């Protein structure tokens, strides 16, 4: 969640400031009156010299990662002239590509590697989307230019490269397959932007595997696996670190739910992060290839569980089939169509992996490479069948003119 408009925050700050000033005035008035009445009996108040050891596992964990968490600043070209363009010789009548850049949004990032004179930062793709230029603000206050090594819109991850000159520490990743519900989880990032850089919030790990649906810029929806936490996550935290009590990164913070789907109820404590094992797998590929090539079936689909009982009854499925993915449509010339799959088929297995949802299908499919052949098990008119599908197309070949999930 890149930084949102902070007008409400500023308004709150003004009101809070007024309250604080009022309290100060009352306090001064009271002490002045007391001082006049008891001037001879006043004694000075002093700060206690008793020291308290406040070092805990939490403070130690935050200290380990704080130097590797950064702010990512996304600059984009504006149609109108920047307020500062005249200082640098801008033409007030110009609306061309020579217009100055303006800060469009801010998010967070995590430095995870140093190599030679470079350092590598992982962040969310949506933090850098649409950028014309990127800066990274380090924990020490230095602002450095960043270049994009690669990104993956499906998992909402991106890798940036910066100079390592001022980089002190790099983060380490924990094994997210060994996480336990209820263990401490600490989010470190830049909520509402760099003015609140390196903010830490503490909570617990609420769930180790949740299906989170993302809507990409092209309107395509995808489902990813995510860690759930009740540690406070706000706009600007996106791309930051979710760490364990050892100061290791267990996930890259990605999103939160603020209301129910119909907007009728506000909710708190529903934050999500991309598991560290998934992050490591993706960033290694992005460093090498700059992108992720994934095979595609060429279908639009909907989870069987999302259908009404009336709709699902028309599929004539055996009572034993309670989960799967319903083929909504098939793209001509793509692997599913070539293998004979049709709209209305219910996919229940890809290879040896059971499929109960679109997330299962994507995970099973993406474990294969382009041009692999995979056996797909499905139901049609209540009868089980299989098809050998050659995965000759990638996700970049899919049509994206529908809001239903694609693969």
Is 126 one of the annotated active-site residues of the chain?
Answer: yes
Q: Which residue has the tokens 């700050």?
A: 13
| CB atoms near residue 91 (< 10 Å) | 12
The encoded tokens of residue 211 equal: 């299906």
Q: What is the DSSP string of 165-184?
A: TT------B--GGG--TTSE
What does the angle CA 280 – CA 227 – CA 211 come to, to the nearest 5 degrees? 105
Q: Is 206 helix (H, G, I), strand (E, B) or coil?
A: strand
Choice among 99, 135, 152, 156 that is catalytic: 156
Q: Using an 8 Å Cβ cutoff, are 86 and 272 in contact?
A: no
Longest Cα separation, the chain: 98
Give the whole-angstrom CA distance, residue 274 versus residue 255: 9
- Cβ count within 10 A of residue 139: 19
SS3 339: coil
Give the C-alpha separation, 391 to 393, whole Å.
6
Say which residues have a Cβ less than 8 Å from residue 299's Cβ, sequence separation at least 6: 327, 328, 329, 330, 331, 334, 336, 341, 406, 407
The catalytic position among 164, 176, 223, 238 is: 238
Contact yes or no for 146/158 (Cβ under 8 A): no
Task: Specify the residue for token string 């991309």.
Answer: 274
371: left (phi over 0), alpha (psi -120 to 50) or beta: left
The token duo for 319 is: 């009572």
Neighbour count for residue 26 (Cβ, 10 Å): 10
Sign of CA pseudo-dihedral 267, 153, 287, 208: positive
Helical segments of 196-305, H only: 276-289
| Residue among 66, 85, 99, 126 flagged as catalytic | 126
CA–CA–CA angle 80, 81, 85 (5° rounding) = 165
Q: Is residue 152 among the annotated active site residues?
A: no
Among all residues, which ones are annotated catalytic? Answer: 126, 156, 238
């Amino acid at each position: 969640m890149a930084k949102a408009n902070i007008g409400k925050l500023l308004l709150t700050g003004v009101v809070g400031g007024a309250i604080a000033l009022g309290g100060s005035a009352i306090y001064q008035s009271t002490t002045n009156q007391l001082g006049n009445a008891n001037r001879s009996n006043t004694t000075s108040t002093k700060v206690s010299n008793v020291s308290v050891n406040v070092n805990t596992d939490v403070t130690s964990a935050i200290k380990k990662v704080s130097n590797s968490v950064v702010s990512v600043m996304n600059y984009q070209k504006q149609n109108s002239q920047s307020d500062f363009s005249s200082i640098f010789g801008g033409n007030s009548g110009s609306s061309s590509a020579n217009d100055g850049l303006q800060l469009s949004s801010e998010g967070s990032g995590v430095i995870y590697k140093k190599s030679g004179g470079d350092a590598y930062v992982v962040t969310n793709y949506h933090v850098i989307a649409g950028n014309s230029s990127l800066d990274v603000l380090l924990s020490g206050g230095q602002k450095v230019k960043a270049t994009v090594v690669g990104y993956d819109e499906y998992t909402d991850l991106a890798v940036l490269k910066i100079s390592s000159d001022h980089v002190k520490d790099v983060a380490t990743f924990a094994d997210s397959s060994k996480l336990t519900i209820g263990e401490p989880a600490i989010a470190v990032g830049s909520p509402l932007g760099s003015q609140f850089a390196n903010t830490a919030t503490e909570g617990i790990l609420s769930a180790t595997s949740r299906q989170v649906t993302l809507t990409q810029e092209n309107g395509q929806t995808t489902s990813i696996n995510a860690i759930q936490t009740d540690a406070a996550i706000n706009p600007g935290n996106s791309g930051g670190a979710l760490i364990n009590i050892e100061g290791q990164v267990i996930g890259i913070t990605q999103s939160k739910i603020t209301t129910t789907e119909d907007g009728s109820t506000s909710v708190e404590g529903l934050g999500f992060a991309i598991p560290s094992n998934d992050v490591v797998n993706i960033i290694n590929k992005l460093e090498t290839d700059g992108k992720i090539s994934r095979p595609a079936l060429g279908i639009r689909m909907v989870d069987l569980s999302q259908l009404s009982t009336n709709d699902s009854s028309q599929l004539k499925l055996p009572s034993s089939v309670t989960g799967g993915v319903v083929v909504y449509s098939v793209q001509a010339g793509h692997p599913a169509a070539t293998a004979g799959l049709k709209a209305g088929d219910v996919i229940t297995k890809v290879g040896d992996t059971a499929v109960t949802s679109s997330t299962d299908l994507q995970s099973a499919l993406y474990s294969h490479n382009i041009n692999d052949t995979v056996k797909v098990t499905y139901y049609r008119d209540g009868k089980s069948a299989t098809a050998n599908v050659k995965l000759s197309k990638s996700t970049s070949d899919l049509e994206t003119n529908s809001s239903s999930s694609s693969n």
